[in-house]
Structure 1
Amino acid sequence: MMLERKSAVIYGGGGAIGGAVARVFAREGARVFLAGRTPARLDAVARDIAAAGGTVETAQVDVFDQAAVERHAETVATTAGGIDIALNAVSIMHDQGTPLAGLALEEFMRPIDGFLRTLFITSKAVARHMGGTGVILTLSEPGAKLAIGGILGHGVSAAGKEAFARLLAVELAPAGIRVVNIRPHAVIDAPAAGSYTNDLFKPAAGGGAVQDFLESGLAPTTLLKRLPTLAEIAETAAFLASDHAAAMTGAVVNLSAGALVD
């Protein structure tokens, strides 16, 4: 059990990726603390974990409320004796497909401000409660590197998330805290798991099924001719959070199935 006796906070723990990672963390022995805005979704993940014999607690937390996030982190640290692992899996609905001429400033800024604001708030809240083996995991997308039209806000936010993780790793390394970013592509089974990407990709699907768009539109553009799965992301996250990856920090782990090569 790679994460035995570890405490893990997952923001956006009721979402597709957050929930998948939480289940694997719990399977690997971690005490999981789920935080998010929708109690019903958090409870659904918690029931799965409890049914499998894992230890889990939930809390309704608005990650845009810095004071609330800090209070929750303090409670978790008091309950568990500290925080070992944190993952920000919060989703921010945003525009993809609109070029500059038709893009409003608000739409451009929504993912940049939203994603980076939550990363700052959650990372600052947990870092102070981590010991010399703490791990902060973040998520980005291939848009951080891709040069295609119509993803101005998305691409800038993705690049910002990777830069944030890299620079945060420098600051926290002296305290023994690792920071690793995971860069998956669109996740093939996420829409079926209730992901917001089902709505995100509807315009690109052109009235067709989002699943068909993922399988025939995006998967063929990767080196492996497929897209990553929730299980692959979750299993990788567990490894990165474990002592097996103790020498890794300031890195981007590319799980895009080869959407791009660094």
Structure 2
Amino acid sequence: MILQNKNAVIYGAGGSLGGAVAKAFAAAGAKVFLTGPNHESLQKVADEIIALGGLAETAIVDAFDEAAINQHLQQMINSVGAVDISFNAVGVDVVQNVPLTEISAEDFVKPVTLTMQTRFMTAIAAAGVMMKQKSGVILSLTATPAGIGYPLTGGFGPACSGVESFSRTLASELGVYGIRVVNIRSGGSPDSRVFKSAIDAMPDVMDPIIKKMEADTMLKKLPLMADIANTAVFLASNLAGQITGVTIDVTGGTTAALNYRVNRLD
């Protein structure tokens, strides 16, 4: 139970990946505070955690509302005394599969602005609490387009790059307070709700897309949500006590090299 006695707040916990990370935190011993805009989806995750003997509470929190974020963290402090882990898994809509030469300025800039807004607000709110505690871990999540040129991803790539730069900069400022800031870069999990919905709706279209993404990896398989969640647990724990200011790549090697030309010979 490497997160025993830790208190973790998860923004976007009703989503598939946010929920997976929340469940992994709870399984590792943390008390998780699940936030998001939809009570039903949050409660579903909480019920699953509690059924397995974990500790979970839910709250409707707008992760784009600075006052709401701070108010919820104060409620956490009043209840359990500390905020040890903050993880933001809030998604934003992105216009993709359109060349940059054809995308509108608004559609390009909007996901960058919204992504940075919620990441900044939640991280800075947590930092304010953790600086007083002299401890804490702030985690964020990006994807493959942050590490390589990735065509037809619109503003998603720049948004991810912005999060990674912000994470490094924040880590450089907060390290003196004993706070670690780490980003996780995912390769896209085919078992996530977004991918599964697309696969169910357009199997003929998605099958070659998934195969191409798998071929791009060194390991010839994409990371599942459990891979991301397990990485988050490790990074939030004392086992990663000297890891900060970096992005941990969980893309199967995609951002180090596109390996679609390499295949097994046996």
Alignment pair present for 1:229 and 2:224: yes
Residue aligned with 2:140, SS:
strand
Q: 1:253 Cα shift?
A: 0.4
> 1:132·1:175 contact (CA, 8 Å) conserved in 2?
yes
Secondary structure at the counterpart of residue 102 of structure 1:
coil
2-side partners of 1:244 and 1:144: how far apart?
A: 26
Distance of 1:180 and 1:23 partners within structure 2: 20
Shift of 1:259: 1.0
Q: Distance in 2 between matches of 1:129 and 1:72?
A: 12
1:134 corresponding residue in structure 2: 136
Correspondence 1:78 to 2:78: yes
The answer on whether the counterparts of 2:7 and 2:82 sit within 8 Å (CA) in structure 1 is: yes
Does the Cα contact within 8 Å between 2:94 and 2:154 map onto a contact in 1? no
> Offset of 1:149 from its aligned partner?
2.5
Structure 1 match to 2:157: 155
Distance 1:208 1:197, change over 3 A: closer
State the one-letter code of the partner of 1:89. A
Q: Distance in 2 between matches of 1:206 and 1:21?
A: 26
Asked if the contact 1:215/1:226 (under 8 Å) is kept, the reply is: no
Q: Which has the greater radius of gyration?
A: 2
Structure 2 unaligned spans of 5+: 258-266
Could you give the per-residue CA deviations for residues 201-260 of structure 1, whole angstroms, max 9, x where no partner exists?
A: 68xx99445652453121111111110011111111001000000000001100001111
For the pair 1:63 / 2:63, whether they are aligned, the reply is yes
State whether structure 2 residue 13 is matched by structure 1 residue 18: no
Tell me which amino acid in the other structure corresponds to 1:231.
A
Letter matched to residue 250 of structure 1: G
The amino acid that maps onto 1:16 is S
Between the aligned partners of 2:102 and 2:142, the Cα distance in structure 1 is 25
AA paired with 1:100? L
Is 2:150–2:157's contact at 8 Å kept on the other side of the alignment?
no
Q: Is the Cα–Cα contact under 8 Å of residues 93 and 196 in structure 1 kept in the other structure?
A: no
Q: 1:240 aligns with which of 235, 239, 242?
A: 235
CA distance in 1, matches of 2:114, 2:82: 27
Partners of 2:138 and 2:209 in 1: how far apart?
A: 29
Q: What is residue 103 of structure 1 aligned with on the other side?
A: 103
| SS of alignment partner, residue 63 of structure 1 | coil
Matched, 1:187 2:182: no
* Residue number among 147, 172, 175 corresponding to 1:173 in the alignment: 175
- Aligned partners of 1:49, 1:63: CA distance in 2, in Å? 22
Q: What is the match of residue 9 of structure 1?
A: 9
Counterparts of 2:65 and 2:205, CA distance in 1 = 33
CA 1:214–1:42: 2 relative to 1, 3 Å: farther
Deviations 1:71-91, CA, capped at 9 Å, x for gaps: 011111221101000100111
Whole-Å Cα distance in 1 between the matches of residues 241 and 105 of structure 2? 41
Identity of aligned residues (%): 40
Structure 1: 4+ residue segments shifted above 4 A: none
* TM-score, length basis structure 1: 0.92
Counterpart secondary structure, 2:8: strand
Distance 2:201 2:42 in 1: 32
Matching residue within 197, 200, 213 for 1:218: 213
Report matched runs for 1:239-258 at 5 Å: 239-258=234-253
**What is the aligned partner in structure 2 of residue 93 from structure 1?**
93
**Residue 177 of structure 2 aligns to which amino acid in structure 1?**
A
1:211 to 1:2, Cα distance in 2 relative to 1, 3 A: farther
Higher mean Cα deviation, 178-187 or 124-133? 124-133
Following TM superposition, by how much is the alpha carbon of 1:179 offset from its aligned partner in structure 2, in angstroms? 0.2
CA distance in 2, matches of 1:118, 1:51: 31
Q: When the two structures are aligned, how many residues end up with a matched partner?
A: 255
TM-score, scaled to structure 2: 0.91
Q: State the alpha-carbon separation in 1 of the partners of residues 157 and 92 from structure 2.
A: 13
Match of 2:260 in 1: none
